[in-house]
Amino acid sequence: MSRGTALIVGGGIGGLSTAIALRNAGYDVHVVEIQADLHSSVYGVGIIQPVNALRALEAIGCAEACMAVGYSTTAWGQMLDVDGNLVREMPGARIPGSDLPPMNGLTRPQLHRILTDKALETGAVLEYSKTFTTLKDGPAGVAVEFTDGSSSVYDYVVGADGVYSKVRPHVMAEGLKPVYLGQSAFRLNIPREPEIDRIILQHGPEGLAGFVPIGPDLAYLFYNTTWEEGRWLDQDKMADELRERLAPFGGLTGRVRDKYINDPAQIVFRPEEWLIAPAPWHNGRIVLIGDAVHAVTPHLGQGAAQAIEDGVVLAECLATHPDHEDAFTSYSERRYERCRLIVESSVAIGEYEMDPASHPDFDHAGLTQHVLETMIQPV
């Protein structure tokens, strides 16, 4: 017997994970995704899955599939200087009693395929090219009208529609906006060089180059660089711009720059924004998850991890509290501090990367290790 009905707005990593977790907890789940299909909502190249992301994916039956197609590491990473000399090992963290690796990397389309297949297998209904036009919360449920003219009433609505969430104004003050960090990221898939068997970070004078293994033969290069807000760069200039910015680097970054940065069409460029919404993350029967309430810059590879954890915790709270108000309150309480730590630590690392000379005592590797050790604590 169904425990209730939930509409999830947004079929990204958070929305799909929540759909699976709620289906497994016995809810009828309907997901609406504004993009036309599974892949048109996937922006970017690869994704870092820290061990806490794998634990959350294990809870919804998706970790094994991610590790089967991706690349699991035996340590988090290494930090190199601009010439490519080793500065520090970054061991990462393991969960006591678990075999999960410190990190797995895979492509975003692979992750989307795995989550979508599992959501469908559990019986969630997914509709593309569709969103809501109105949401009206009431004592008997949330009345929803959709862009295709249909309507329905749900026990709960989950806003999983990302950093520019349209559900968010139904939950909290409309003025909440993401903040641009001052950095943007170039990313490009490359063949996996043998030394990219963990995350490799190489500090430059104005940004951080990094490498992430995302398959047996595949890795991605990223470069977090200082970038004026709103500055536009034509796609056909991406390769020249990236090569120029990576000019000071030797070692791995220098070799990759000279060998693989040729085709501007393959480069994905993305501004880095952050947001942490004050708790509680619900109003009545409408609740928010993922980037809609805690958008994270990529410095700790934790944004998607937190969105997946949100979905798992939300389903647990609904399944264990008979009253939805108590369930949603408990959900925000369990999530807020954890997400705040990730958002604030990621911003601190970004500020350091943009201007290392002004932060001589900043310990990038130490803060990363602290966060990773905090993340293996029970959620």
Binding region for ligand FAD (CB under 6 A): 9-15, 32-35, 41, 47-48, 53, 131, 160-162, 166, 185, 270, 272, 290-291, 296, 298, 301-305, 307
Taking the least distance from each CB to ligand FAD, the nearer of 125 and 250 is 125
Q: Provide the b/e sequence for 206-228 (b: ≥16 CB within 10 Å).
A: bbbbbbbbbbeebbbbbbbbbbe
Whether residue 280 has a cis bond before it, omega within 30° of 0: yes
Between 79 and 158, name the residue whose CB sits nearer to ligand FAD: 158
Smallest separation (angstroms) from ligand FAD to the CB of 335: 12
- Which tokens is 198 given? 């963990």
Token duo for residue 371: 């966060």
With 0-12 CB in 10 A as exposed, 13-18 as middle and 19+ as buried, what is 7?
A: buried
CB of residue 154 to ligand FAD, shortest distance in Å: 14
Tokens of 140: 């008997």
Count of alpha carbons within 13 Å of 352, Cβ hemisphere only?
A: 18
Shorter beta-carbon distance to ligand FAD: residue 33 or 155: 33
Secondary structure (DSSP) of 55-78: HHHHHTT-HHHHHHHSEEESSSEE
Distance CA 125, CA 121 (A): 10
Give me the least distance between CB of 4 and ligand FAD, in Å please: 21
Q: Which is nearer to ligand FAD, 155 or 291 (CB)?
A: 291
Nearest residue (CB) to ligand FAD, 15 versus 254: 15
Smallest separation, CB 57 to ligand FAD (Å)? 11
Bridge partners, residue 221, by sequence: 188, 211
Distance CA 207, CA 185 (A): 10
For residue 47, the minimal CB distance to ligand FAD (Å) is 4
CA distances from 275 to 12, 20, 179, 295, 302 (A): 18, 26, 6, 5, 14
Nearest to 335 by CA among 348, 316, 319, 355: 316
Nearer to ligand FAD, 146 or 250 (CB): 146
| Shortest Å, Cβ 271 to ligand FAD | 8
Closest to 6 in 3D by CA, of 158, 115, 131, 196: 158
Q: Which is nearer to ligand FAD, 278 or 325 (CB)?
A: 278
Residue closer to ligand FAD by CB (options 132, 249) is: 132
Compute the least distance from the CB of residue 54 to ligand FAD, in Å. 11
Residue 220 CB, shortest distance to ligand FAD, in Å, is 9
Which of 19/252 has CB closer to ligand FAD? 19
Rounded Cα–Cα distance for residues 14 and 163 (Å): 12
- Residue 132, Ramachandran bin (φ over 0: left; ψ between -120 and 50: alpha; else beta): beta
Q: Which residue's CB is nearer to ligand FAD, number 20 or number 47?
A: 47
Question: Which of the 8 DSSP states describes residue 348?
Answer: H
Instruction: Evaluate whether 46 touches 105 at the Cβ level (below 8 Å).
Output: yes
Least separation in angstroms between CB 104 and ligand FAD: 11
Strand-pair category, 179-191 with 151-154: unpaired
Rounded to 10 degrees, the C-alpha dihedral 161/175/327/346 comes to 70
CA quadruple 176, 181, 183, 188: dihedral positive or negative?
negative
- Cβ 324 to ligand FAD shortest distance, Å: 21
